[in-house]
Amino acid sequence: MTGPAARPAPVRTVQQPRPPLYLRHPLLAGFLRQWPLLMVIVAVGVGLLLVAAEQWRAGLVVMGLALVLAGLLRLLLPLRKIGFLAVRSRPVDVALTTGAGLALAIVALAIPYT
């Protein structure tokens, strides 16, 4: 027999699923899991650079807004996505970080120019 019935069936290979990202690239997975904290740290770093460049008022306002951002992220994101920004209960975290951020920005803007 040389017709279609004589051909062997094609062998199907089962493709193995890719391992999860935390096994393939653990450092990258860690950064992605902590992106809210990383955003806040970068914003505070920009504020510190402004302070080092003798723009202290703008630097302190940027750092205060970074704390307000941390409070908003804590308020809006679920617990599994917020990472290390979740320290205490949600209302306490939101109140303390936004309060400290607003206080820092208001005090920095209230200091008179000399």
Cα 110 from Cα 112, distance rounded (Å) = 6
Cα 57 from Cα 71, distance rounded (Å) = 21
- pLDDT of the chain, 114 residues: tens digit per residue: 565 666 776 777 778 888 887 788 888 888 788 899 999 999 999 999 999 999 999 999 999 999 999 999 999 999 888 889 899 999 999 999 999 999 999 999 999 987
- Token code pair at residue 77: 């994101």
Question: Residue ranges per domain, the chain?
Answer: 36-114
> pTM value?
0.75
Cα 52 from Cα 23, distance rounded (Å) = 39
